């Protein structure tokens, strides 16, 4: 127990070849050492646990090796390498800038730089977390970093490159370390497991690699934790239980419910997941990633981007065959919208339930009909082809216009009174070719077309309709209002009441609602006349008498209204001699 060393330290790379996932950077450093083209300052930047400090130590050991190998690696046998491996080398100095970030610390470092090495050629100064240096410390370090002694080499390491001064960046060779891929992480974990005599499952190691998020140190730390939990038998179920990771099985069950439009079962699965302690936002983001993975598995080429075990990938491919591309696009868009709204939502459980309900309705037949309605192209009532084909002697009534279409000319009368007569004398002037004149024959053809069109436009619609039809068309118009929220709420709360055959009344609650309806009277009547096929339809608006009496605008009116509900307020006012301001 006393000699136990965690895997992150025990299996820390000692050579460039053993560094995982940074092949291009290690090759560049080896070639620079072999050719003798060493810079005086390097900057290693990248995420945590990807090998920045490790590569700096290997680099420092290799350039001081007295008998390097042919492949550019250190021999690990000479006096310099042995001293480094035993952590007693005086040629390598490490400074933690997180705790030594003052000007005095940098001045002390500068004093040490002047002393040449006793063994080897170079003295290497590794400054970890260099972005933590203060502004004054950076400025004190500039001159030495730009023109150090020939035997001094600086290696700066940081996870936050953007916090370093540009004057420091311009004096360094910058090496950007990338996150370690899931494949490389799994292979290294398998190597460590074989050395430690630990049995593992590929799916379990894959979950560990995904949890590490590209950091090898994190992956090895999690590996040690799981090994302690399982006693040396790392299985998929043990990993998801110990790390509190949501099992793939839940996502597949949810997908089956969504494809079957089974809303109750989907809500039960969601409740089961929440009861295990998972956060709703994690569930939503997990579903989004699940559908994204299904979309990748639709094509064998993109399926390679999905880095999981072979058995799980095959299951994803089989499930992806059941889902259409259009369904996956809509599902991802729906879940992504819920993810954006989750933080702002007050009732987060309701948002999670609503997301499952929306997903279950994506593949239903009703959803397809709604999409067709949304994509319906709105045509004008009288197209040019219909006018040319209409018979002149016996014109038929015009077809009912589509929602939002242009109403007939007869419907453009005032809302105060019904149109008593239709103006048939207005005719469009014949166009003049070229803007100069028109021939007699051309005028005759234009005249026939104008008379033909006028005959069609003079159709008067006077069909009877029920109060329920009026209310339904009234609501349909209101639901179509996207930007006018006030008018929409007014129309949904104040429904029309049919008084006569062609006259209906709308009772509103206040003058603001009355004014809003008055502004849109012509648009509303135009829509209702077209849908109900009655050009004599009229509308009148009045304010409710109860609300009209109770309206209070001034402080005195409001106080009197309060007195009517509570007489004690009057006694309070009289007793203390209060006055309204």
- Between CA 288 and CA 331 the distance in angstroms is 8
| 292 neighbors 332 (Cβ within 8 angstroms) | yes
Q: What is the mean pLDDT of residues 19-40?
A: 89
What per-residue confidence (pLDDT) applies to 68? Answer: 83
Spatial separation of the C-alpha atoms in residues 63 and 72, rounded to whole Å:
9
Alpha-carbon torsion (141, 146, 147, 148), positive or negative: positive
Q: Is the pLDDT of residue 575 over 70?
A: yes
Predicted confidence band of residue 42 (pLDDT cuts 50, 70, 90): very high
CATH number of 7-176: 3.40.50.300
According to CATH, what is the number of the domain 248-373? 1.20.272.10
Cβ atoms of residues 107 and 140 within 8 Å: yes
Range in 7-11, 126-130, 208-212, 548-552 with the lowest mean pLDDT: 548-552
Decide if pLDDT at 429 tops 80: no
**Intervals of CATH 3.40.50.300 along the chain:** 7-176
Give the Cα separation of 338 and 354 in Å (integer): 9
Angstrom distance (rounded) from CA 122 to CA 118:
9
The tens digit of pLDDT for each residue in 177-234 reads: 998 888 889 999 999 999 888 898 888 888 888 888 888 998 999 999 999 888 888 8
pLDDT of res. 529: 87
β-pairing, 503-508 with 538-543?
parallel
SS3 (DSSP) at 269: helix
Residue 362 CA: distances (Å) to CA of 212, 293, 394: 34, 18, 48
Q: What is the pLDDT of residue 309?
A: 67
Indicate the pLDDT class of residue 433, thresholds 50, 70 and 90. very low
Is the pLDDT at 52 greater than 80? The verdict is yes
The distance in angstroms from the start CA to the end CA of the chain is 81
Give the count of beta carbons closer than 10 Å to the beta carbon of residue 74.
26
pLDDT single digits (tens) 340-382: 988 888 898 999 999 999 999 887 665 554 555 444 444 454 4
Model pLDDT, residue 436 = 41
Determine which of 100-114, 228-242, 246-260, 394-408 has the lowest per-residue pLDDT on average.
394-408
Minimum mean pLDDT range among 184-188, 238-242, 278-282, 563-567: 563-567
The pLDDT of residue 511 is: 86
**Mean pLDDT of the region 480-494:** 84
Query: Minimum mean pLDDT among 12-21, 481-490, 522-531: which range?
Result: 481-490
Q: Considering the chain, what is the average pLDDT of its residues?
A: 80
Whether the CB-CB separation of 400 and 531 falls below 8 Å is answered with: yes
Mean pLDDT of 369-397: 46
pLDDT for res 79: 87
pLDDT tens digits, 125-179: 999 999 998 888 888 888 888 888 889 999 999 999 998 889 889 989 999 999 8
* 466-484 average pLDDT score: 86
Q: What is the pLDDT of residues 327-346, one digit of tens each?
A: 899 999 999 999 998 888 88
Contact 247, 276 (CB under 8 A): no
Quick check: 60 pLDDT over 50?
Answer: yes
Query: Across-strand partners of 462?
Result: 534
Report the pLDDT value the prediction gives residue 77, as an integer from 0 to 100.
86
293-337 pLDDT, tens per residue?
888 888 877 777 777 766 788 888 888 888 888 889 999 999 999
Enumerate the CATH 1.20.272.10 domain ranges in the chain, comma separated.
248-373
DSSP 165: -
Residue 366: per-residue pLDDT: 57
- What CATH number should be reported for the domain whose range is 182-242? 1.10.8.60
Measured between alpha carbons, how far is residue 161 from residues 132, 450, 477 in Å?
11, 76, 57
Q: Where in the chain is the domain with CATH 1.10.8.60?
A: 182-242
Confidence (pLDDT) at 354: 92
Return the ∠ at Cα 207 (arms to 183 and 244), rounded to 5°: 160
The percent of residues above 70 in pLDDT, for the chain, comes to 81
- Candidate from 99-103, 142-146, 456-460 with smallest mean pLDDT: 456-460
Least confident of 1-10, 108-117, 163-172, 427-436: 427-436
């Amino acid at each position: 127990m006393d000699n136990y060393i965690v895997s992150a330290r025990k299996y820390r790379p000692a050579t460039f070849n053993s560094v995982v996932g940074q092949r291009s950077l290690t090759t560049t450093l080896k070639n620079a050492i072999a050719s003798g083209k060493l810079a005086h300052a390097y900057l290693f930047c990248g995420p945590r646990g990807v090998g920045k400090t490790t590569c700096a130590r290997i680099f420092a050991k290799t350039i001081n090796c007295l008998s390097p190998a042919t492949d550019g690696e250190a021999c690990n046998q000479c006096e310099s390498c042995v001293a480094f491996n035993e952590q007693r080398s005086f040629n390598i100095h490490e400074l933690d800038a997180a705790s030594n970030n003052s000007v005095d610390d940098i001045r002390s470092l500068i004093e040490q730089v002047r002393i040449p090495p006793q063994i080897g050629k170079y003295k290497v100064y590794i400054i970890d977390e260099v972005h933590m240096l203060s502004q004054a410390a950076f400025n004190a370090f500039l001159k030495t970093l730009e023109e150090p002694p020939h035997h001094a080499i600086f290696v700066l390491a940081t996870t936050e490159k953007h916090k370093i001064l540009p004057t420091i960046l311009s004096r360094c060779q910058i090496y950007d370390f990338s996150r370690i891929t899931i494949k490389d992480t799994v292979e290294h974990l398998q190597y460590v497991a074989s050395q430690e005599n630990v049995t593992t499952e590929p799916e379990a190691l894959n979950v560990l690699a995904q949890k590490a998020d590209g950091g090898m140190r994190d992956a090895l730390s999690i590996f040690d934790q799981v090994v302690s939990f399982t006693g040396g038998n790392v299985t998929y179920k043990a990993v998801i239980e110990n790390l509190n990771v949501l099992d793939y099985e839940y996502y597949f069950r949810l997908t089956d419910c969504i494809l079957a439009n089974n809303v109750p079962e989907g809500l039960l699965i969601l409740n089961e997941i929440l009861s295990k302690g998972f956060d709703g936002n994690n569930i939503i983001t997990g579903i989004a990633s699940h559908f994204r993975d299904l979309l990748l598995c639709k094509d064998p080429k993109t399926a390679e981007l999905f880095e999981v075990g072979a058995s799980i990938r095959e299951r994803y491919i089989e499930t992806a065959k059941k889902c259409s591309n259009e369904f996956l696009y809509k599902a991802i868009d729906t879940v992504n919208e819920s993810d954006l709204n989750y933080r702002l939502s007050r009732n987060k459980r309701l948002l999670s339930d609503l997301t499952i309900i929306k997903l279950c309705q994506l593949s239903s037949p009703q959803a397809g009909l709604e999409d067709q309605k949304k994509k319906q192209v709105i045509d004008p009532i009288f197209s040019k082809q219909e006018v040319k084909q209409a018979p002149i002697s016996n014109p038929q009534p015009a077809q009912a216009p589509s929602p939002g279409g242009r109403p007939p000319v007869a419907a453009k009368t005032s809302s105060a009174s019904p149109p008593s007569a239709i103006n048939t004398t207005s005719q469009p002037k014949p166009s003049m070719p070229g803007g100069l004149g028109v021939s007699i024959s051309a005028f005759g053809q234009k005249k026939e077309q104008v008379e033909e069109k006028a005959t069609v436009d003079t159709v008067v619609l006077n069909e009877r309709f029920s109060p329920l039809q009026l209310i339904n068309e009234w609501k349909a118009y209101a639901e179509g209002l996207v930007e006018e929220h006030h008018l929409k709420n007014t129309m949904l709360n104040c429904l029309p009441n049919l008084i006569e055959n062609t006259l209906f009344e709308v009772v509103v609650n206040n003058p603001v609602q009355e004014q809003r309806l008055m502004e849109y009277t012509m648009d509303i009547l135009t829509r209702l006349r077209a849908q109900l096929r009655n050009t004599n339809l009229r509308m009148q608006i009045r304010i409710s008498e109860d609300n009209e009496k109770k309206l209070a605008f001034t402080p005195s009116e409001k106080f009197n209204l309060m007195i009517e509900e509570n007489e004690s307020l009057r006694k309070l006012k009289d007793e203390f001699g209060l006055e309204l301001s």
